[in-house]
A and B are shown apart, each in its own frame.
Chain A
Amino acid sequence: MGMICNFSGFKIYPGHGKTFVKSDSRSYRLLNGKCESLFLQRKKPSKLSWTIVFRRLHKKGQAEEAAKKRTRRTVKAQRAVVGATLDSIKAKKNQKPEIRASLRQAAVAKSKDAKKAAQDKKKAELTKVKAAQKGNVSKQQMKGAAPKVQAKSR
Chain B
Amino acid sequence: MLLLKSLAKVIDNSGALVVEVINVMGGMRVASLGDEVVCVVKKARAATSDGAANAVSKLKKGDVARALVVRAAQRVRRLDGTFVKFDDNAVVMLSKQGAPLGNRVLGVVALEARQKRWAKIASLAPKMV
Contact = CB atoms under 8 A, between A and B. Distances in A.
Interface residues of A, number: 12
A20 interface: yes
26 contacts: A14-B82, A15-B82, A16-B81, A17-B83, A18-B75, A18-B82, A18-B84, A18-B85, A19-B84, A19-B85, A19-B129, A20-B84, A20-B86, A20-B87, A21-B71, A21-B84, A21-B85, A21-B86, A21-B108, A22-B87, A23-B86, A23-B88, A23-B107, A25-B127, A25-B129, A27-B129
B111 to A, nearest CB: 11
By secondary structure, the A interface counts as loop
Interface residues of B, number: 15
Interface of B: 71, 75, 80-88, 107-108, 127, 129
A15 B127 CA distance: 24
Contacts of B129: 19, 21, 25, 27
A18 B82 CA distance: 6
A25 B86 CA distance: 9
A134 B82 CA distance: 96
Nearest to B86: A21
